[in-house]
Amino acid sequence: MDFLVLHRREHLLFHFYISRAISHPPKRPGSRITQSSAKLNIFNATRRLSTMSSAPEWIELLKKHVDKKDQHTTVYAFSTLSPEGKPRVRHCIHRDITPSNLLLTTTDTRMQKPLQLGEHHQVEIAWWMEPPAVQFRLRGQAFTLPADQNQVSKALKELGVQGEEADAKWWEEKRKSIWANDMSGHLRGSFGRPPPGKPLSEIKEKPEDWPERLDAESDDPEQQKLIDNALSHFALIAFKVEWAEYLELKPSPNRRTQWTKKSDGSWDKVSVAP
């Protein structure tokens, strides 16, 4: 949404909530209870408007630097915890940012990431972008959103999303859209191969017989079976950020800024020594 349009909307809503706070006082005018309640109404109205921001500052900076056509700005290190509580890290590809500012990447449901996220939702990513010489570090909670709609609905409750993003059907459309539009044929093919990490000695098919690439869909029934099987292993990971850091290495001296999300949804910002 355009910033000026959003600003005007919030300006009108501010006056609406303040007018309601003033026009709905308690029944005993002039009393301490009336004065206190009126002040409380205005405070609550102001607080409500303060949390209705379009997006935190750090995510606007992130969007400014990300270029989906440039792999130097779309790959980050994604750290999880094993069921035993030991760190595990790998590189993932950034796929999208939802309207509620959830960061999305993808995974194979047969990999270790979904298992680890099922035990520990706390994650951290380190995202170095070479062209602008900036680094984002982001902490928060991540959840796997597979084809199983029951699992998706459960994850959405824990994510606390609202509106269209609270609907599991919205996420299924998103999953299929990323599968069709953001994944290469080679990557789609990888989801139809044997489970990642399985010893080759335990796999009957020869590597040369594995699907090399797959289309998003096919009119050939046999080919579509392969696609459906691969798609069943394809899942999204939704990352709700609760802490963010932005390091800029081009300015001299370097700049480092941190944001922490508060319980009311607003963000505390602090500049720190780099």
Side chain identity at residue 179, one-letter code = W
Q: Could you report the per-residue pLDDT of 134-148, keeping only the tens digit for each? A: 999 999 999 999 999
Residue 31 has pLDDT above 70, yes or no: no
Residue 161 has pLDDT above 80, yes or no: yes
Among 34, 50, 66, give the residue marking a domain's end.
50
Quick one: which of 178, 174, 196, 199 has its CA closest to 188?
178
Write down the mean pLDDT value for the chain: 86
DSSP 3-state of 85: coil
What is the pLDDT confidence band of residue 43, given thresholds at 50, 70 and 90? very low
Q: Could you report the per-residue pLDDT of 77-99, keeping only the tens digit for each? A: 999 999 999 999 999 999 999 99
User: Which residue range is the domain that position 198 belongs to?
Assistant: 57-272
More confident residue, 172 or 27: 172
Q: Are residue 43 and residue 63 in the same domain, yes or no?
A: no
| Mode of pairing for the β-strands spanning 134-145 and 122-129 | antiparallel
Q: Are residue 36 and residue 69 in the same domain, yes or no?
A: no
Among 13, 32, 50, give the residue marking a domain's end.
50
Structure tokens belonging to residue 2: 């355009």
Residue tagged 């007018």 (tokens) = 19
Residues 6+ apart with CB under 8 A from 124: 79, 137, 138, 139
Cis-peptide, bond into residue 87, ω within 30° of zero? no
Q: What is the domain count for the chain?
A: 2
Average pLDDT of the residues in 185-203: 97
Q: Are residue 77 and residue 179 in the same domain, yes or no?
A: yes
Residue tagged 């084809």 (tokens) = 147
Q: Are residue 99 and residue 194 in the same domain, yes or no?
A: yes
Instruction: Specify the range with the lowest mean pLDDT, choosing from 12-21, 98-107, 205-214.
Output: 12-21
Among 16, 34, 50, give the residue marking a domain's end.
50
What is the pLDDT confidence band of residue 29, given thresholds at 50, 70 and 90? very low
Q: Are residue 36 and residue 131 in the same domain, yes or no?
A: no
> Using CA atoms, how far apart are residues 82 and 51, in angstroms rounded to an integer?
35
Q: Are residue 198 and residue 223 in the same domain, yes or no?
A: yes
Q: Are residue 86 and residue 42 in the same domain, yes or no?
A: no
Q: Are residue 20 and residue 103 in the same domain, yes or no?
A: no
Q: Are residue 136 and residue 239 in the same domain, yes or no?
A: yes
Identify the CATH number of the domain in which residue 133 sits: 2.30.110.10
What is the pLDDT confidence band of residue 71, given thresholds at 50, 70 and 90? confident
Q: Are residue 73 and residue 170 in the same domain, yes or no?
A: yes
Q: Are residue 76 and residue 35 in the same domain, yes or no?
A: no
Average pLDDT of the residues in 142-170: 97
More confident residue, 162 or 27: 162
Average pLDDT of the residues in 87-116: 97
Q: Are residue 16 and residue 129 in the same domain, yes or no?
A: no
Average pLDDT of the residues in 219-246: 98
Average pLDDT of the residues in 96-123: 97
Backbone angles phi, psi at 128, to 5 degrees: -95, 130
Residue 123 has pLDDT above 90, yes or no: yes
> Using CA atoms, how far apart are residues 176 and 95, in angstroms rounded to an integer?
13
